[in-house]
Structure formats: C-alpha cells, structure tokens
Chains A and B, each alone.
Chain A
Amino acid sequence: MILQSIKMALKSIKTNKLRSFLTMLGIIIGVFALVVLVSLVSGATNTITESISDIGSDMISVTMLDWGANNRLSIKEVESLADKLPNVAATAPAAQGSIDAKTKLKTENVMVYGTTPAYAEIQGYKMKYGRFLMKPDCENHTNVVVLNHDAAITFFGRDNCIGETLKLNGRAYRVIGVVDSGNQQMSMMSMLLNGGGMYTVYIPYTSLIRLASGIKLSVDSFYASAVDGNTGAAKDEINDYMMDKYGDEDMFYIFSQSEISEAMDKVTGTLSLLLGGIAAISLLVGGIGIMNIMLVSVTERTREIGIRKAIGAQPGVIRLQFLIEAMTLSIVGCLLGIVLSWITLQIINILANVSFGLSIPVILLSVLFSSGVGILFGIYPAHKAAKMKPIDALRFS
C-alpha cells in the first residue's frame, strides 16, 4: 500500500511538474542554505582544529604577569616542577626576542627562542636533521642554534645546514639541528599565536640572556606538558604550586592549548546553530508552501477522493496517500537541494582552490528535517481528505 502511494505521489508530481517544482522551491532553498552554510563552517572548523591539534593540545603555558615580583622563578625551579608535580611530565622555560640574523646569503629579523632541551618534547617537535638543544649546551651556554625549516632554506638555501654558522646580533652560532616544520598551517598558526615571523630559531636559554637585553635569569614564562594527556590535572597542580608561591592569582596566567580548541568549538558551535536556525526557518516556510499546495490538491481532487472511497478506500489509506504525497514533495525537494549544494561546493572548491565536502550529519539532518516538515504540514490536508464524507466528495464538482 505504501509503495502504491509513493508511486501515485511521484506520478502526481510528474503530472504537475511546474507546480510541484515551485512548491518544492522553499524546501530546496532551505536545504541548500542549511547544507552549504554548515558544510562551509564545519570545513573551516576542521582546518583550524587540525592546526591546533598539530601544535599539541596538551601543552600548558604559564606566563608571569607581575614583572616586579621579587621571588621570581628560576630555571632550576621550573625544571624541578616536572619531578615535584605528579601529572606534569616536562617543563621548559622559554623567552623570546626578535633579533637580526645574518649569513652570507641573507640578513633578516628572526624570532629567537631561548629555552631548554625539554621544549622540543613539550612542543612535539621532530628533528629533520641533527639534534635539538641538549643539557650541556644550556649548562655551558654554548653558542649553538636550532633552525626551523623556513629559516634554514632562507639563510642557507637548503635545509641540511648542520655545522654552518648563523650570526645573531653579530655573534656566531653553530647550527646543530633543523626542526621538521610539519605542514604549512602549523607555521601559519604559530605565526598567529606567537606574533612572530616565519623564521624561528632556538638557542639555549642561558645564551639568550647574553644576547638580548631584558632577558634575565628569572623566568617570565614556561611551557609544560602533562602525563598521559591529563592536561586538566597538570594545569591544576601548576596553579596550586603558583598560588602557594605567590598567593595571588593575578601574578600569573596559566593557559592550555585545549582551551583554544574549546573556545573554537564554542564559536563554531554557535555559528552552526545560528546558520542552522536560519535554514530551519526557511525550511518551515517551505513547509507552509507544501501545506498550501496540498490543500489546493485535496480540494481539486475531491471527486477523486470520493471515487476512491466509493470503491473501498478506508480513511486511513486516503490519509496515508496524501501524507506520502506531502512527504514525497519535501523529500524530493530536499534531495534536489542536496544536489544543488554539492554542485555549489564543487564550484567553490574549484574557484577558491579549497576542498569543502558535504557534511554527512547535516545531510542526514536535512533529510530528517524535511520529512518532518512534510509530515507536519501534510497532516492537516491529509486529515481533511480522510474525513471527507464519500457522498459529499462524489457530488463535488
């Protein structure tokens, strides 16, 4: 019976092509808006969250806010935190300065990080060539430097430049390693987060003190990583330690990478909800269009309803038939909307050289929602048809 009703519904859509299309237009536009907007948002979100997780979402950064405090953290104290606090795996003090770097090939401003060996581990860096900073480098404040990929290419024209010399503020530093830069987005992201340029180099913390004025033995900021991804617990332990030491939460600021992701999720969630809401409203408007045309159709086909009842159609069967017709209109509209969205996304992809795909959950959602709209707005016309008295319907002309 349902199959028959679907066949009849498709037939009646076919016989009234233009009218059916205009009726479906509301649904088509609604679904189109929903699918395209949400796919764009979720595509963008994915790109951003991927970049964030590349940086390492279990990284914690601690920054001192009160520069005038007298019992400041020492490098030793920062390094001892990894032993003192059970959920903290490693800590690394970090200071940074913008310094002129020079080789035969190029002179350019670079972002210099003064840090300790643990930094690479916390940041999840992999080495492309050579090694990262090691303990003796820091203890002896030797003049060694680790470059990122972009810096290596720019200053030496190749990334395997171990043993070469880079001049920082006129002092010669020996290159001991090149960091594998990962993907493009990561450098973009670190540029955004650190406010630095594309060229990043790492030297021992103690070496940076000699190089840049304003960088002292006391630590202004450090990074930490957590044991087994217990970022929250590690963050709390550091917070407790700092509170014990300074007794004032305004003295320092603790921040974890996962907070960026959470904030990001919140923003995109709200955005999706907003766009989804707009699309839902247009779907509802489409539903009203369907109800309108179904009411017209019921009136137009009153005689047909009478005939069907006379030859044995029960009210429930008539109701089902018109309900299925309304649903068919909305679902066919929905499918057309999805096809249109797909075409649009492909065009955007080609024009903007990106790769947005249809979001499967949003397709399911729009099919579900359209069927819901079909039922909701089909039920009244269907009921009207079902409860017609056979004799009145037959007499209708």
Chain B
Amino acid sequence: MIVFNNVSKIYHMGDEVVKALDHASIHIRQGEFVSIIGPSGSGKSTLMNIVGCLDTADEGEYFLDGMSIKRYSEKSLAMIRSRKIGFIFQNFNLISTMTAEENVELPLIYQGLSMNERKARVKEALEMVDLYPRRKHTPNQMSGGQQQRVAIARAMASKPSIFLADEPTGNLDQATGRQIMQIFHHLHEQGNTIVLITHDEHVAEQADRSIKIMDGKVYDETVGKEETDVPVSASAEETPSEETRQSRKEDPSA
C-alpha cells in the first residue's frame, strides 16, 4: 500500500525554485494496477523515485505498507528496495559489463539467496520474458526491447510486491511495447502492485485506473478530502478511466 500525504519535492536551480512535486497526495492499494500519466516535466519520475525509496520527500510524508519511511536509514531503505520494490527504468539501467543472467542475478545476491536458489530464479525470470537462450549476452549485444525484458526479468527475479515502471515502452516500437505490457498484465494477475508511468494515453488506459499529474500537482480520485482543491477540468479528465478499465478486459492483447 502506497500513501502520499502532501508530499513535495522542491529543486533550487540558482534563484529559480522548481516544485517537481507540489503537495501530492496519492493512495495506491495492494494489488492495484495504476498508471501515472502526465506531460514531460510534470514530475512523474520524481514521484516514482520517491515511491521506490530512491529519493526522499522534502515535505509531507510517505507511508509504505503503513510505515512512514521518513526516519529510515540508507541501509533500511536499501533493504526495502531489495525486498519490496522492483524497478523498470525508461533507459533500462542494466550494468553494461555484465551478461543478462548476471544482471538478473545481482539483486538476488543482495538479497543473500543461495547459489542454487539464484540460478533457479534467474532461469525462471528469463524464461518468463523469453530470453533464456540469450542469457550470456551483454546489454550492448541486445535490442532495446530485449534489454527492457532483461530489466523486467531482473525486477521479477527478486519477487517484489510492487513493480515501478518508468515509461517502460517509451523507447520501443508498438509491437514490442504490447509484448512488454502483456508481461505487466501477467504480473498484475499474480497479485502484484503495478505503478506504470507513461505519457501515452493508450498505455495508461490498460491500467485499473490512472493518476494524473501536472506541474507537480497530482489528481488521485481515491484520496478523499484532498480532492476539494482539485480543479474541475482535471476531475472531468478522470472520468474515462472507468470505461477504459472495462474496455481493457475485451482487448485481446490484454
């Protein structure tokens, strides 16, 4: 469960102040598939970094599974990332000197798993994304779509409960994008929480619901009282999400 309570992130660029997140409040339940949509520079990545405990809020509080992460040490945050969070980055973020299987194995080493357990999990994860035959390849020997699938396998292998994906299909063609989305649907069906960041409406539509973000301000209809200051126009934009959720079920690709 992910709860943001008036979270702000402020960057100072010289005299200029950039509010990457401006009193954002969100509420994502366990097992939900949520998309976060907004234009470039609206603060999507900033939001994801805070959700993933890579970054901390300047104001407000973030509760992960009911615990405020405010007072956690770097070490505890690393443990949370290791056990609960699976990242899929826009630019893949694979380690270029390591092969696919070494990349997938790395988070398992940090989890302290035994060699046998690691080997089994690496095989399972790479088979899920159809890349087991390519396990000995390094990232620069693979296409973008393949690299993204390795990144997804890496996130899956550590069996987190929350998957955070920052524009996972942004750099890929449509067919490859659909393939990637199928994997996310599969992960969702297994009961995982999926937070998918995108600026693509079609991708956003495939989620249970969408959270809109604009200039650091977040519009999340499930957060009760805070919605009073949400502009009318933004609330209107949220109505289609209910329809898209139903339409997704008829979509054969889903």
Contact = CB atoms under 8 A, between A and B. Distances in A.
Interface of A: 1, 4, 11-12, 15, 303-304, 306-317, 387, 389-391, 394
Interface of B: 49, 52, 54-55, 74-75, 78-79, 81-83, 87, 93-95, 97, 106-107, 109-112, 154, 158
A390 B54 contact: yes
Contact of A310 (B74, B93, B97): B93
A308 B97 contact: no
A15 B95 CA distance: 14
B78 A315 contact: yes
Nearest to A392: B55
A317 B106 CA distance: 12
A316 B75 contact: yes
Nearest to A308: B106
A391 B49 contact: yes
Contacts of A304: 95, 97
Contacts of A4: 109
Contacts of B154: 311
A250 to B, nearest CB: 76
Chain B binding surface SS class? helix
Contacts of A309: 54, 78, 81
A303 B89 CA distance: 13
Contacts, number: 65
A199 to B, nearest CB: 75
A310 B52 CA distance: 8
B111 A1 contact: no
A306 B110 CA distance: 14
Contacts of A310: 52, 54, 81, 87, 93
Contacts of A308: 95, 106, 110
Given A311-B110, A314-B79, 19 more contacts: A4-B109, A304-B95, A307-B93, A308-B106, A308-B110, A309-B78, A310-B52, A310-B87, A312-B82, A312-B110, A313-B82, A314-B74, A314-B82, A314-B110, A315-B74, A315-B75, A316-B75, A390-B81, A391-B55
B173 to A, nearest CB: 25
Contacts of A307: 93-95
Contacts of B81: 309-312, 390
Contact of A1 (B94, B97, B109, B158): B109
A312 B93 contact: no
A54 to B, nearest CB: 59
A313 B78 contact: yes
B40 to A, nearest CB: 16
9 contacts: A12-B97, A308-B106, A311-B107, A314-B74, A314-B75, A316-B75, A390-B54, A390-B81, A394-B93
A308 B54 CA distance: 11
Contacts of A311: 81-82, 87, 106-107, 110, 154, 158
A72 B95 CA distance: 92
A394 to B, nearest CB: 7
User: Chain A CB within 10 Å — which of B81, B154, B158 has the most?
Assistant: B81
A126 B141 CA distance: 81
Contacts of B75: 314-316
Contacts of B95: 304, 307-308
A312 B74 contact: no
Nearest to B76: A314
Contacts of A387: 74
User: Chain A CB within 10 Å — which of B75, B78, B158 has the most?
Assistant: B78
B78 A314 contact: yes
B59 to A, nearest CB: 17
Contacts of A313: 78, 82, 110
Contacts of A15: 97
Nearest to B75: A314
A314 B76 CA distance: 8
Contacts of B97: 11-12, 15, 304
Nearest to B154: A311
B158 A312 contact: yes
Contact of B112 (A1, A390, A391, A394): A1
A12 B52 CA distance: 29
B242 to A, nearest CB: 34
Nearest to B83: A312
Contacts of A12: 97
B88 to A, nearest CB: 11
Contacts of A312: 78-79, 81-83, 107, 110-111, 158
A387 B78 CA distance: 12
A173 to B, nearest CB: 86
A196 B81 CA distance: 85
A73 B75 CA distance: 86
User: Chain A CB within 10 Å — which of B79, B110, B111, B158 has the most?
Assistant: B110
Nearest to B92: A307
A3 to B, nearest CB: 10
A391 B82 CA distance: 15
A303 B92 CA distance: 12
A317 B74 CA distance: 12
A313 B55 CA distance: 15
A313 B110 CA distance: 6
A24 to B, nearest CB: 20
A336 to B, nearest CB: 24
